[in-house]
Amino acid sequence: MKLRASGEDYLEAVLVLQKEKGMVRSVDVARHLDVSKPSVCHAVSTLKAGGFLTMDENSFLFLTDVGREVAEQTYEKHCFFTR
């Protein structure tokens, strides 16, 4: 599955929030990216279907190995361009 830039941004947000908080829910991503909760829900279901994210029974989000790889690449790319 080919990701759009917005999908990469959602994965990056989960990665950053996991490093900051440990556990991440959709509402945390919505606040971090300053987007609506329905937007996050749509993105999360698309990313879950693509095998980039999983969600446990408590609605915590987790990156899969592929999702983590994409998130880390996106994070590094953003850091590079920020410098």
How does pLDDT run along the chain (83 residues), one tens digit per residue? 678 888 999 999 999 999 999 999 999 999 999 999 999 999 999 999 999 999 999 999 999 999 999 999 988 876 766 66
The pLDDT score that the predictor gives to residue 81 is 65
Q: What are phi and psi of 47, to 5 degrees?
A: -70, -35
Q: What is the pTM of this model?
A: 0.89
Helix, strand or coil, per DSSP, at residue 1: coil
The pLDDT score that the predictor gives to residue 5 is 83
How far apart, in whole angstroms, are the C-alpha atoms of residue 5 and residue 33? Answer: 13
**What class, spelled out in words, does domain 5-82 have in CATH?**
mainly alpha
The pLDDT score that the predictor gives to residue 26 is 95
How far apart, in whole angstroms, are the C-alpha atoms of residue 28 and residue 19? Answer: 13
